[in-house]
């Protein structure tokens, strides 16, 4: 044998021994003859497929089919059998750790006790696998092959055998209860055996029920027993009723039995709809709604149950079932146990209650919950806008304020959630351009940026689809054309940027127009007389002007029709001011500008108006600007101390100021008293804007 045929560890050991002997023969080392110890090359793992050794030939010495007691057989039945092979080398010595792979040539017989279909030979060279027919009906000739591999050697053998079908017998069903209440369950069992009465283990039994639920297949246990539970409820939760046939089969062996399920009875009714809010009739919001009840038998929805629906509480004009009906409605549940009914709102808001009762027993019932006819569209005088602050710093981009829009219907109720209001602005930015209401309220943000109107006044228009305000002459809480009267008819709207109350070419027009050409009649005098009969005429005139300004304008003349629908509008003004440039003006006690802007030595009162520079010096400083005055005593020789005290007016620009009218001076006025001041002393006033810029002016008392 050459060195190259030796394993590496053996070669290393031989080389070390030769070297040791050579050294000893030459007198090397310490004079003692030694043999080097065998080096540690690790542990050779058993069962690796080659065992760390080689063979020349691999043989399959024996190939046998044996039963569970290791007795040779030539055919197998339902109990199965082992296929066993013996693997040897060229010396007929058993080979341990050889891999043996098994395969069947046809379906119907399965290899078990291994997921790979392969096993390793044991220490005696044996490998076996279990064969079992997949069913009692399997029969015929089969061939199983075994392929052994070890250390690069392969051996293959085939074995032909037969499978004998098993004639199965099923015992009669044993039923725990043959009479079931609706929705109940019961246990059933039977025994699987062969024709001679021997119990059969591992036989798959198919099961079926004409109604209800039962496992589709069960395997017999070691005692041949098949045990199942039948439920008298279908997979879709419907209930069984009457006779039910349950059957079992294995091939041609069939058994069946009958049980009786009592008819289900309704035991409860539940309101199963979500809360529902509808707008009144002709409101433009949802015109109808549907509510649902579910009838149960115990905990299972019950189909075909008879119920009676009744209207227990409702506002004026509401009907249900069909439009105009308020009488009781007989109904029957669908396959899911549900019964539903439509609701048609009337002209009045209010709560709604509908009751569903069992026809056979009215004591079993349920009331609807959370149904209301709560609101209508926004009315002409029901839209308002409020700003968090209405004087912003135009000298910077991004100074902003929150704008809140609120809307109610003509009954003072919040408009339906999701009502949309759109906004446009003459300058700056409104974001978002529209918002949807929750409980009648929504918010947007206005912020400073270009464009900036030259007068420092930004017109902001809010619009929403709603209805005109009217006088309900026949008191039915609904608009009746030809009977009821508009308070003040409105037509198309626009954004009145120049604030003169009249549409002019170039001003923004809201695109949804009436396409009408009628006059917009004014019946405010009648409306005011109904509301405020004892008011003085001057107060009535003031109210009329306020109503037109807020709830009619901006309105295009001769665009009105006789319909209730309208684009409801509200315009407000946002002021812009220069926070880096305050202007101070001295006023007399009547609020008029002093011709000569000086403070005399005899003055005991100083009135100062603070404005923002630019925009004709008419706007106040930005909201939040603080204003303060101090005195500086420059006349030590008079033995007096010059002091100043604020006695009125503003020390801080409010968040909200009166935006007044175009061209009106809106500066904030502060009132101070002087004490002990004389000519030569200083009166100093300063304004500190929110941007931290401070503007100061000093007056030398004359």
Residue 516 reports pLDDT greater than 90: yes
Distance of CA 617 to the CA centre of its chain: 52
Mean pLDDT for the stretch of residues 500-527: 95
How far is residue 125's CA from residue 451's CA, in Å, rounded to a whole number?
A: 96
Distances (CA, A) of 550 to 341, 387, 421, 423, 545: 43, 16, 17, 16, 9
pLDDT of residue 166: 83
Which band of pLDDT confidence, cut at 50, 70 and 90, is reported for residue 6? very low
pLDDT of residue 33: 39
How far is residue 658's CA from residue 394's CA, in Å, rounded to a whole number?
A: 18
Mean pLDDT of the chain: 89
Q: Which of 41-45, 228-232, 268-272 has the lowest mean pLDDT?
A: 41-45
Q: For strand 99-104 and strand 682-688, is the pairing parallel, antiparallel, or unpaired?
A: unpaired
Q: For strand 457-467 and strand 378-379, is the pairing parallel, antiparallel, or unpaired?
A: parallel
562-588 confidence digits (pLDDT tens): 999 999 999 999 999 999 999 999 999
| Six-digit token string for 408 | 């109610």
Distance of CA 270 to the CA centre of its chain: 26
How many CB atoms sit inside 10 A of residue 513's CB? Answer: 13
Report whether 87 contacts 61 (CB < 8 A): yes
320-366 confidence digits (pLDDT tens): 999 999 999 999 999 999 999 999 998 788 899 999 999 999 999 99
SS (H, E, C) 330-345: EEECCCCCEEEEEEEC
Mean pLDDT for the stretch of residues 355-384: 92
SS (H, E, C) 288-313: CEEEEEEEEECCEECCCCEEEEEEEE
Bigger pLDDT: 221 or 31?
221
432-481 confidence digits (pLDDT tens): 999 999 999 999 999 999 999 989 999 999 999 999 999 999 988 888 89
DSSP H or E segment with residue 11:
helix 8-25
Q: Which of 148-162, 171-185, 267-281 has the lowest mean pLDDT?
A: 267-281
Mean pLDDT for the stretch of residues 12-29: 38
pLDDT of residue 125: 95
Which band of pLDDT confidence, cut at 50, 70 and 90, is reported for residue 46? very low
How far is residue 83's CA from residue 436's CA, in Å, rounded to a whole number?
A: 78
pLDDT of residue 285: 62
Helix, strand, or coil (residue 524): helix
The verdict on whether omega for the bond into residue 432 sits within 30 degrees of 0, i.e. cis, is yes
Share of the chain above pLDDT 90, in %: 76
How far is residue 270's CA from residue 294's CA, in Å, rounded to a whole number?
A: 5
Residue 159 reports pLDDT greater than 70: yes
Highest mean pLDDT out of 35-39, 161-165, 557-561? 557-561
pLDDT of residue 325: 96
Bigger pLDDT: 476 or 684?
684
| Six-digit token string for 29 | 């080392």
Residue 32 reports pLDDT greater than 50: no
pLDDT of residue 298: 84
Q: What are phi and psi of 604, to 5 degrees?
A: -115, -10
pLDDT of residue 284: 59
Bigger pLDDT: 644 or 201?
644
Q: Is 499 exposed, middle or buried (0-12, 13-18, 19+ CB in 10 A)?
A: middle
Q: What are phi and psi of 157, to 5 degrees?
A: -145, 150
């Amino acid at each position: 044998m050459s060195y190259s045929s030796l394993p590496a560890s053996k070669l290393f050991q031989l080389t070390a021994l030769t070297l040791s002997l050579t050294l000893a023969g030459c007198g090397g080392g310490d004079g003692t003859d030694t043999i080097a110890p065998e080096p540690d090359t690790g542990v050779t793992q058993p069962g690796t497929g080659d065992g760390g050794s080689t063979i020349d030939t691999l043989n399959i010495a024996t190939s046998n089919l044996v039963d569970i007691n290791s007795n040779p057989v030539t055919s197998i039945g339902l109990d199965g059998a082992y296929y066993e092979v013996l693997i040897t080398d060229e010396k007929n010595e058993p080979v341990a750790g050889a891999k043996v792979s098994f395969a069947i040539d046809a379906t119907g017989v399965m290899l078990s006790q291994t997921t790979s279909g392969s096993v390793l030979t044991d220490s005696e060279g044996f490998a076996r696998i279990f064969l079992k027919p997949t069913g009692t009906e399997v029969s015929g000739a089969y061939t199983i092959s075994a392929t052994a591999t070890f250390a690069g050697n392969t051996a293959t053998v085939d074995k032909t055998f037969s499978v004998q079908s098993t004639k199965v017998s099923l015992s009669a069903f044993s039923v725990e209860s043959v009479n079931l209440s609706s929705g109940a369950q019961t246990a059933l069992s039977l025994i699987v055996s062969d024709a001679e009465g021997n119990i059969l283990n591992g036989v798959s039994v198919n099961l079926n029920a004409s109604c209800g639920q039962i496992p589709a297949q069960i395997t017999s246990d070691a005692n041949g027993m098949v045990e199942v539970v039948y439920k008298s409820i279908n997979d879709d939760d419907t209930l069984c009723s009457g006779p039910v046939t349950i059957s079992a089969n294995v091939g041609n062996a069939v058994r069946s039995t009958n049980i009786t399920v009592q008819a289900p009875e309704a035991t409860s009714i539940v309101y199963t709809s979500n809360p529902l809010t509808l707008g009144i009739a002709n409101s433009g919001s949802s015109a109808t709604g549907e509510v649902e009840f579910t009838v149960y038998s115990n905990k299972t929805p019950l189909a075909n149950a008879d119920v009676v629906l009744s209207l227990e509480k409702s506002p004026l004009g509401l009907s249900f079932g069909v439009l105009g009906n308020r009488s009781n409605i007989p109904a029957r549940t669908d396959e899911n146990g549900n019964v539903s009914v439509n609701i048609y709102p009337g002209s009045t808001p209010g709560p709604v209650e509908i009751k569903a009762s069992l026809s056979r027993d009215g004591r079993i019932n349920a009331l609807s919950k959370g149904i209301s006819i709560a609101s209508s569209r926004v009315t002409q005088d029901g839209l308002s806008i409020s700003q968090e602050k209405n004087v912003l710093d135009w000298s910077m981009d991004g100074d902003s304020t929150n704008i809140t829009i609120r809307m109610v219907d003509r009954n003072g109720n919040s408009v339906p959630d999701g009502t949309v209001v759109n906004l446009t602005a003459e300058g700056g930015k409104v974001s978002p351009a529209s918002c949807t209401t929750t409980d009648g309220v929504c918010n947007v943000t206005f912020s400073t940026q270009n464009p900036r109107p030259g007068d420092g006044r930004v017109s902001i228009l809010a619009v929403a689809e709603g209805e005109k305000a009217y006088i309900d002459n026949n008191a039915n809480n609904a608009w009746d054309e030809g009977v009821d009267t508009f308070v003040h008819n409105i037509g198309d709207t626009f954004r009145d940027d120049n604030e003169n109350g009249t549409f002019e070419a170039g001003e923004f027009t809201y695109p949804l127009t009436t396409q009408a050409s009628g006059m917009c009649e004014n019946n405010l005098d009648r409306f005011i007389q109904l509301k405020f009969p004892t008011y003085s005429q001057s107060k009535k005139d003031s109210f009329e002007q306020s109503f037109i300004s807020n709830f009619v304008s901006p309105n295009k003349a001769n665009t009105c029709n006789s319909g209730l629908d309208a684009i409801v509008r509200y315009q407000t003004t946002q002021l812009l001011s220069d926070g880096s440039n305050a202007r101070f003006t001295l006023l007399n006690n009547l609020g008029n500008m002093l011709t000569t802007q000086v403070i005399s030595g005899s003055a005991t009162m100083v009135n100062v108006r603070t404005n923002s520079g630019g925009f004709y010096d008419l706007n106040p400083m930005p909201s939040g600007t603080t204003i303060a005055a101090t005195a500086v005593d420059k006349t030590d020789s008079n033995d007096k101390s010059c002091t100043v005290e604020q006695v009125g007016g503003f020390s801080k620009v409010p968040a909200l100021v009166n935006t007044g009218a175009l061209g009106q001076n809106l500066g904030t006025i502060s009132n101070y008293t002087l004490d002990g001041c004389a000519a030569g002393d200083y009166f100093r006033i300063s304004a500190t804007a929110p941007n931290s810029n401070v503007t100061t002016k000093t007056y030398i008392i004359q």
